[in-house]
Structure 1
Amino acid sequence: MPTIKKYLVSSSVPKELAPLKEITQNYWWSWDLGAVNLLRRIDRDVWEKQLHNPTKTLGSVAQQTLANLVGDDAFMTELGRVHADFKEYMSRPAWYDSFRDTNSRFTIAYFSFEYGIHESLPIYSGGLGVLSGDHLKSASDLGIPLVAMGLLYSRGYFRQYLNADGWQQEYDIENDFYNLPLEICCDANKNQLKIDIDLPGRKVWALIWKAKIGRVDLYFLDTNIEDNSPEDRHITSQLYGGDREMRIKQEILLGVGGVRAFKKLGIEPTVYHMNEGHSAFLTIERMRMYVQEKNLSLFDAAQIVYATSVFTTHTPVPAGNDSFTSALMHKYFTEYVERFGLKIDRFLRWGRQNPDDVNENFCMTVLALNCSAFANGVSKLHGVVSRHMWQRVWPDVPVDELPIAHITNGIHTESWISFEMQGLYDRYLSPKWRTDPVNWEHWRRIEQIPDAEIWRIHERRKERLISFVRERVKEQMRQKGYPQSEIEGADSILDTESLTIGFSRRFATYKRGSLIFHDLERIKKILANKECPVQIIFAGKAHPHDNEGKEIIRYLSQIARRDEFRNHVVFIEDYDINVARYLVQGVDIWLNNPRRPEEASGTSGMKGPVNGVINLSILDGWWDEAYNGENGWAIGRGEEYTEYKYQDDVESRALYNVLEKDIIPLFYDRTHGEIPRGWVKKMKSSIMSVCPVFNTNRMVQDYTRMFYQPAHRKAMRMAENNFEHTKKLAQWKDGIQHAWDNVRIESVSAESPEKIEVGMSFAVEAVVALGSIAADSVKVEIYNGVLNRQGEITKGTAIPMAFSREAGKGKYVFRGEIPCSITGQNGYAIRVFPYHEDISYKFEMKLIKWS
């Protein structure tokens, strides 16, 4: 084999176009529509051919074309304006400035397995990645001091095409990172920065890359370098590819390697946010660093990591949470954890819902929950579902009091709005709608927009969507070898004036992509109604190992080819952010019909309203809290089922009824001219109610107030005076744990009247034996509420009991009063648990004694 010497060639751009290179080196361009239009003007054909990649576009366009641009006054003027906008964005005051403490060292490290920034950086699979990307963009908008970490997958997520039978086929395309807005991180001497992690019998090295996402830096780890064996170079080859052993190596790299990468970069985060459980091994690496580099005990280190960790769970189905066998965990962690004093058996307990069950797999979600003071689901309903799902992690705590809150997801508004709608809002709304999208006052001005104007823009976006779909379908047909006559026939598929439904997402079985075809005769009548026709556009991928999901895609593909559905049903292959953008900007209805409550949030439906698209959905995920009766339609009333066949029968009929009785008549009601006034009213209601709430600016503000700032304050306090507060807290906890077996509630007495009426109250006393524990080191509470049929307290309320007096021999009397506010059978119990001013969650020690 020859010895190959490598060298890098970059694009040559005239000095007059230097601002263009500066703009394209920051992904800010991807959500600034002025910048996107400027890049498209360089050479539209090259721009499309290079999949909207500005770096590759500049490197591929003819030098004469660039020279001509220098002489194009209109282009140069627009370049100056866009460059000025970029400079203004990077330096303008931001929301977080009013909270900033220049001496606080506040830095959040955000970890995610995938990032959906733009279609030209294909290292995402779907909703989780797109949410991560939108999170970073809003953090940039708000000026949040956040840095992010991920893996740079050389082959990204698989590309999709359907064979002649409609079966999904997968293939990969190698990403060329040197032709993307990415840079390799180097030290002051221009040496490339690398980190290493220990895998069984060897070290694995990873190169550190960086992407600029506005004011936020996103770092990536890349093992596809010559330092590694061929096997280890594949660790960052493919997102969600490979077997369980590949997954554990990827997650070690992200969690352990990511923490080491920040250290190598000289970045010292005070708060760590794990977006899903993939990165949860970072908690163990942080403990190791505190033990080996700060000389803290393991117990001390665990207190700091717990208090400064944030965890977001996205999965409402137990099987969707990553877990590993004990054998794999022993193979990859025994030597690593025992080097800093953590016994492997103790570590494995942290990843089990039942720590004593040695046959239970090690679950990344359980590890993250056990090591994070701040945890949340991604919608109000998902918070409830998550608390029930993970109740065994806190077996003695009532489900309503589990430390899993909710912060509902959102979307980055400017990344998903069409150019035309953006211009409309600029004309009629406050100019601050972009920088302050959470302000209701901006969106209330939607009512001032003339119906005709918003409707004409919506019609133009639908025309663009259908033109795009026709071209995609023609290309799909060419790839499959269809005759030219049939390919040309694709120019007539779909109709720009028909009611158009969009359904695009990951084809997991719980999302029920084929539900609308449950009754073929009924849906055929709906779609083929000559006076009020309806058409549906599908897009999405199934996981390569999900044959049930692939079956749904095949069924839809075959439906689309049947004569009675031809021109009414289309499946677009190879779904990505670009396809999603066209759909959410151009359809009339966004359909979502998961099995409640299995949709954690579902952000695809949030992207439509900003473009005037209206939702039709099961009351699940975000729509359960967004739907108000005026801003869209609901399928059912929030029922939950255990018999799936019956559920599909009921909910498909409900779907057809809504279409036939409400949606179709409203869309085609043109009694007041060519504009469907009732429909436009619904569009405006959707925009006004959804846009100010379900955006990532509001979401990131919630994370900052509820999690990031409290966790940072904990970090600062615990590090004071050489970790004095940390050591005292650990010492206190150690004493509590050793003495807790002697704690018991000896007696409970109540001063209740014979007849209790609403508005009355009565006193309760409890004698609590604490042994050697001081009375001010515990809290005693009355847990009071209505009883269900099983005699259990539901939606209980905690009522503090005050210290009353000593009873001798380590016993104390506590007294409280129960207010009687709800009629019916009520009940109460007494509980005691440890208390210290520095604990983050009152049950974090999981030590509770009940009466």
Structure 2
Amino acid sequence: MTDGNELSGWFGRFRSTRRFARLRKHPVAYFCAEYALDPRLPFYAGGLGVLAGDMVREAADRELPLVAVGLRYRLGYYLGESPASASVGLEAVLDAKGDRLLVGVPIERRIVSVQAWRWRRGTVEVLLLDTDLEANAPTDRHIVDRLYVDDRQVRLEQEVILGVGGLRMLEALGVSPSVYHLNEGHSAILTLELTHRLMCERGLSFDLARQSARSLTVLTNHTLVPTGNETFSNDLVSAILVRYAEELGVPVSELIKLGLVQESSIFSMTMLALRMSSHVNAVSRLHAEKAKEIWTSHPMETITNGIHLPTWNLVGDDVSGAGDLWRAHQERKGLLLERVRKETGRDWGRDDLLVGWARRIVSYKCPLAVFDDLHRLAGLARDSRRPVRLVFSGQAHPGDGEGQNLKAKLMEIIDGELSDVAVFLPDYGLLTAPTIVAGCDVWLNTPIVGFEACGTSGMKAALNGVLPCSTRDGWMAEATDIGWMLDNENVGSNFLDVLERDIIPLYYCRDENGVPVKWEGNMRHARRTIVDRFGAGRMLKDYIEMFYLRSRGLE
């Protein structure tokens, strides 16, 4: 499935332009801390990585010259992930002599050697950096072991490797990008390295080079949640960047100033990225509005996230006839129910109403919201004429105590009072998500409004005819005509009201062939909405028009 002829025509025309020809020589450089490229590669934690993976796939489909840069995490994000798969589909980046291509990155007073691995798709390549080299000290070999490691010094070292090492690796490969796209602030230090390069190449002062670097840099912010916006103590940043500042020939205090949170001794990667980017976007309209309240001096444009339609269209394209989409959905539902049976022993019927909640388990996503009145929920679910079943799935970061407690409480409720009508499926990720997002009938989304910058799991579900039931947060505030909207103040009770009054009666209203005709009509509308407005092709077009073509590098 694609976004349609109009969008394909736009990309076709763009590929014939002078600016596209320049992109062939000077591609977009896309930096992100995580990428969901393959279920076997443990290089992502959640939505940011999945979005980056979809961006890479869409750019390849549209033949956009783009090189992405990230880190090759040997142990991934969640405890228990095997390092054995961390090179699947990757090839080592070699120099002209056939040896590993290495670059040096100053950290504290030492130089850390960095190598790269390449993942290809069409016109796009992803370069993944690591430090697991015999030339490095034992501790330095493990800098890039784990994604979003808790240790603050190692985390900062990772971000220096990503920003400085990433740009130096591109330079060593002879890649001279026209624009640098920071997908979140984790790679913001690359703006300092870009400044450094411009000082050397053009003989500019630090201030002039900084302004020039800013004109080549754009930023996408994905979260307003404090844990998603990296901060470090000034003392730690000063210690890590001391030798690097000497290379630039400027006091380390000048570098710190660019990321300093006003009236504090805190260095913010987000503030550095905001100050060093010529264009900044939020990933939904509501996100942009909320961001104004936090970063008053840095207004954000809106480019709402989108999903890679060919990857997430699991019901197929042959669903245009009456009843076709419903039958295709029932096949996907059967796969989910089979997994439920194998993993939990629950043998539910294919006609049972199936409600799903699956995502990273953190407090603002409110996984326990629908359990405020367990007695009422259980009563609705156990109606033998119109049963309701609930599927939950998700993971919490090992270092997130609150998230781990939420997961434990969620499983306690499911294994206790709701054991016959609800299940928890472990190991939610790129391999298992397709079964869940396409197999439920209703996709439940319960974040506190203003905290979910966008959220794309509901897009994937709706593309497959799964109807959303959500608070008005993120992208759902732009698609209120599909599914059901929940009251932010009383999510639990409002969900039960909507479930009893609207969802259950509509789902169980069937024709003589057992097809819920009105329900299927809503499924088609939801699917069409995603194709028309929330595909990654539209998102990529927005980035090209609003960001890349406005960069000085493509003038």
TM-score, scaled to structure 2: 0.95
Count of aligned pairs between the two proteins: 545
The partner residue of 2:310 within 395, 400, 414 is: 414
Which residue of the partner structure matches residue 19 of structure 1? none
TM-superposed CA distance for 1:671, in Å, is 4.8
Query: Structure 2 regions of 5+ residues with no counterpart?
Result: 3-10
Question: Retained in 2: the 8 A contact 1:494–1:567?
Answer: no
User: How far apart in 2 are the matches of 1:591 and 1:558?
Assistant: 20
Which structure is larger by alpha-carbon Rg, 1 or 2? 1
Residues 551-586 of structure 1 show CA distances to partners (whole Å, capped at 9, x for unaligned) of: 221122122222x52231111111111211101111
User: How far apart in 1 are the matches of 2:460 and 2:122?
Assistant: 21
The partner residue of 1:602 within 455, 461, 486 is: 455
Report the RMSD for the aligned CA atoms in angstroms: 1.8
Question: Retained in 1: the 8 A contact 2:40–2:85?
Answer: no
Question: Retained in 2: the 8 A contact 1:152–1:220?
Answer: yes
Residue 339 of structure 1: SS of its match in structure 2?
helix
Which residue of the partner structure matches residue 340 of structure 1? 248
TM alignment of 1:560-709, pairs within 5 A: 560-562=414-416, 564-628=417-481, 631-636=482-487, 647=489, 650-709=490-549
Which residue of the partner structure matches residue 517 of structure 1? 371
Which residue of the partner structure matches residue 173 of structure 1? 82
Residues 396-416 of structure 1 show CA distances to partners (whole Å, capped at 9, x for unaligned) of: xxxxxx431110001101111
TM-superposed CA distance for 1:194, in Å, is 1.1
User: How far apart in 1 are the matches of 2:387 and 2:546?
Assistant: 48
User: How far apart in 1 are the matches of 2:260 and 2:467?
Assistant: 42
Question: Retained in 1: the 8 A contact 2:28–2:66?
Answer: yes
TM alignment of 1:341-420, pairs within 5 A: 341-354=249-262, 357=263, 359-391=264-296, 394=297, 402-418=298-314
The one-letter code matched in structure 1 to 2:188 is: A
User: How far apart in 1 are the matches of 2:240 and 2:348?
Assistant: 54
TM-superposed CA distance for 1:510, in Å, is 0.5
Corresponding position: 1:98 with 2:38: no
TM alignment of 1:750-765, pairs within 5 A: none
Relative to structure 1, is the Cα distance of residues 654 and 229 closer, same or farther in structure 2, using a 3 angstrom cutoff? same
Residues 609-655 of structure 1 show CA distances to partners (whole Å, capped at 9, x for unaligned) of: 22111111000000001122xx211102xx5xxxxxxx3xx221111
The one-letter code matched in structure 2 to 1:413 is: L
Residue 424 of structure 2: SS of its match in structure 1?
strand
TM-superposed CA distance for 1:543, in Å, is 1.5
Residue 143 of structure 2: SS of its match in structure 1?
helix
The partner residue of 1:543 within 397, 417, 420 is: 397
User: How far apart in 2 are the matches of 1:199 and 1:106?
Assistant: 29
The one-letter code matched in structure 2 to 1:367 is: L
Residue 207 of structure 1: SS of its match in structure 2?
strand
Question: Retained in 2: the 8 A contact 1:273–1:311?
Answer: yes
Question: Retained in 2: the 8 A contact 1:382–1:597?
Answer: yes
TM-superposed CA distance for 1:320, in Å, is 2.9
Residue 324 of structure 1: SS of its match in structure 2?
strand
User: How far apart in 1 are the matches of 2:35 and 2:270?
Assistant: 20
Which residue of the partner structure matches residue 5 of structure 2? none
TM alignment of 1:719-734, pairs within 5 A: none
TM-superposed CA distance for 1:387, in Å, is 1.7
Residue 252 of structure 1: SS of its match in structure 2?
helix
Bigger drift between 315-324 and 248-257 goes to: 315-324
User: How far apart in 2 are the matches of 1:222 and 1:94?
Assistant: 37
Point out which structure has higher relative CO (alpha carbons under 8 A, 6+ apart): 2
TM-superposed CA distance for 1:139, in Å, is 0.8
Which residue of the partner structure matches residue 725 of structure 1? none
Question: Retained in 2: the 8 A contact 1:493–1:567?
Answer: no
Residue 691 of structure 1: SS of its match in structure 2?
helix
Residues 275-318 of structure 1 show CA distances to partners (whole Å, capped at 9, x for unaligned) of: 00000000001111111233221122112111110101111123
The partner residue of 1:157 within 72, 77, 85 is: 77
Which residue of the partner structure matches residue 189 of structure 2? 281
The one-letter code matched in structure 2 to 1:407 is: I
TM-superposed CA distance for 1:716, in Å, is 5.2
TM alignment of 1:750-789, pairs within 5 A: none
User: How far apart in 2 are the matches of 1:583 and 1:118?
Assistant: 18
Question: Retained in 1: the 8 A contact 2:150–2:399?
Answer: no
Question: Retained in 1: the 8 A contact 2:106–2:243?
Answer: no
TM-superposed CA distance for 1:227, in Å, is 1.3
User: How far apart in 1 are the matches of 2:86 and 2:382?
Assistant: 47
The partner residue of 2:226 within 318, 321, 325 is: 318
Question: Retained in 2: the 8 A contact 1:156–1:175?
Answer: no
User: How far apart in 2 are the matches of 1:95 and 1:716?
Assistant: 17
TM-superposed CA distance for 1:345, in Å, is 2.1
The one-letter code matched in structure 2 to 1:205 is: S
Query: Structure 1 regions of 5+ residues with no counterpart?
Result: 1-30, 33-92, 159-169, 395-401, 426-448, 474-489, 640-646, 718-851
User: How far apart in 1 are the matches of 2:535 and 2:84?
Assistant: 30
Residue 422 of structure 1: SS of its match in structure 2?
coil
Residues 364-421 of structure 1 show CA distances to partners (whole Å, capped at 9, x for unaligned) of: 0000000001101110100111121111xx2xxxxxxx43111000110111111xx2
Relative to structure 1, is the Cα distance of residues 297 and 367 closer, same or farther in structure 2, using a 3 angstrom cutoff? same
Which residue of the partner structure matches residue 318 of structure 2? 424
Question: Retained in 1: the 8 A contact 2:26–2:176?
Answer: no
Relative to structure 1, is the Cα distance of residues 687 and 494 closer, same or farther in structure 2, using a 3 angstrom cutoff? same
Which residue of the partner structure matches residue 303 of structure 1? 211
User: How far apart in 2 are the matches of 1:114 and 1:320?
Assistant: 13
User: How far apart in 2 are the matches of 1:581 and 1:603?
Assistant: 13
The one-letter code matched in structure 1 to 2:47 is: G
Corresponding position: 1:452 with 2:323: yes
User: How far apart in 2 are the matches of 1:99 and 1:379?
Assistant: 29
Residue 362 of structure 1: SS of its match in structure 2?
strand
Residues 777-799 of structure 1 show CA distances to partners (whole Å, capped at 9, x for unaligned) of: xxxxxxxxxxxxxxxxxxxxxxx
Residues 443-501 of structure 1 show CA distances to partners (whole Å, capped at 9, x for unaligned) of: xxxxxx2332221111111111111232234xxxxxxxxxxxxxxxx1x4333221001
User: How far apart in 2 are the matches of 1:107 and 1:281?
Assistant: 20
TM-superposed CA distance for 1:103, in Å, is 4.6
The one-letter code matched in structure 2 to 1:462 is: K
TM-score, scaled to structure 1: 0.62
Question: Retained in 2: the 8 A contact 1:255–1:279?
Answer: yes
The one-letter code matched in structure 2 to 1:404 is: M
TM-superposed CA distance for 1:100, in Å, is 4.6
The partner residue of 1:204 within 108, 112, 125 is: 112
The one-letter code matched in structure 2 to 1:452 is: G
Question: Retained in 2: the 8 A contact 1:134–1:696?
Answer: yes
Which residue of the partner structure matches residue 411 of structure 2? 557
Residues 791-822 of structure 1 show CA distances to partners (whole Å, capped at 9, x for unaligned) of: xxxxxxxxxxxxxxxxxxxxxxxxxxxxxxxx
Question: Retained in 1: the 8 A contact 2:119–2:127?
Answer: yes
Question: Retained in 2: the 8 A contact 1:326–1:362?
Answer: yes
TM-superposed CA distance for 1:95, in Å, is 6.1
User: How far apart in 1 are the matches of 2:38 and 2:535?
Assistant: 18
User: How far apart in 1 are the matches of 2:108 and 2:252?
Assistant: 15
Question: Retained in 2: the 8 A contact 1:95–1:143?
Answer: no
Which residue of the partner structure matches residue 131 of structure 1? 51
Question: Retained in 2: the 8 A contact 1:504–1:539?
Answer: yes
The one-letter code matched in structure 1 to 2:448 is: R
The one-letter code matched in structure 2 to 1:501 is: V
The one-letter code matched in structure 2 to 1:509 is: S
Residue 432 of structure 2: SS of its match in structure 1?
helix
User: How far apart in 2 are the matches of 1:296 and 1:471?
Assistant: 65
Question: Retained in 1: the 8 A contact 2:109–2:242?
Answer: no
TM-superposed CA distance for 1:238, in Å, is 0.7
Question: Retained in 2: the 8 A contact 1:94–1:141?
Answer: no
